[in-house]
Amino acid sequence: MDYKYIEQLLERYWRCETSLQEEEILRMFFSQEDIPAALLPYRHLFAYAQSEKTEEVLGDDFDRKVLGRIEEEEPVKARVITMRQRFMPLFKAAAVVAIFLTLGNAMQVAFSDGDGRQAVPATAAVEKPQEGPSVAKADSVKGDTLQHKIQSPVSTLTK
């Protein structure tokens, strides 16, 4: 074969001016056994495509096996769920609420006085005028006197 023609094709190949047929000619040339020493560095570039074609690929048998396994339907096993299993989350939530209420009651009893009264909070130490009981006492006294006055004239009229 004419090596000058191959060198011209290589020059055109590097400039990206070759057609697909010319590239096929280059591949065929570099797949031969006897290549000049000047063109040996380019052999791997063009022989690579042929070595890729000969690599092992998965066959049709593989596709059939995979598709067969995909299409197989496995029976679905039914699970029996008891009422206890169904209500278990509710039981757990109720247990947590019971624990919080028990701990809250225990804390309340622990911080209260021995006679059963609630402990005085720290903010109650500030002196505040206590008008509540005296006002209530005064109101009840006024109410009592009013009732006493209403009952007195009635009793005098009946006498």
Distances (CA, A) of 72 to 38, 56, 58, 67, 68: 59, 28, 21, 9, 6
The span from the CA of 6 to the CA of 42, in Å, is: 11
User: What is the full per-residue pLDDT of the chain (159 aa) written as tens digits?
Assistant: 568 888 898 899 989 998 989 988 888 888 888 888 888 888 888 776 665 555 566 777 888 888 888 888 878 888 899 999 999 999 999 999 999 999 999 998 888 766 555 555 555 555 655 555 555 555 555 555 555 566 555 555 555
The span from the CA of 121 to the CA of 112, in Å, is: 10
**0.75 cut: is pTM over it?**
no
* Residue 19, both tokens: 């057609």
* Residue 24, both tokens: 């096929």
Q: Which SS3 state, helix, strand or coil, does residue 126 take? A: coil
Give residue 61's pLDDT: 86
Give residue 32's pLDDT: 83
Give residue 35's pLDDT: 84
Give residue 15's pLDDT: 92
Angle formed at CA 65 by CA 61 and CA 68, multiple of 5 degrees: 135
The span from the CA of 159 to the CA of 154, in Å, is: 9
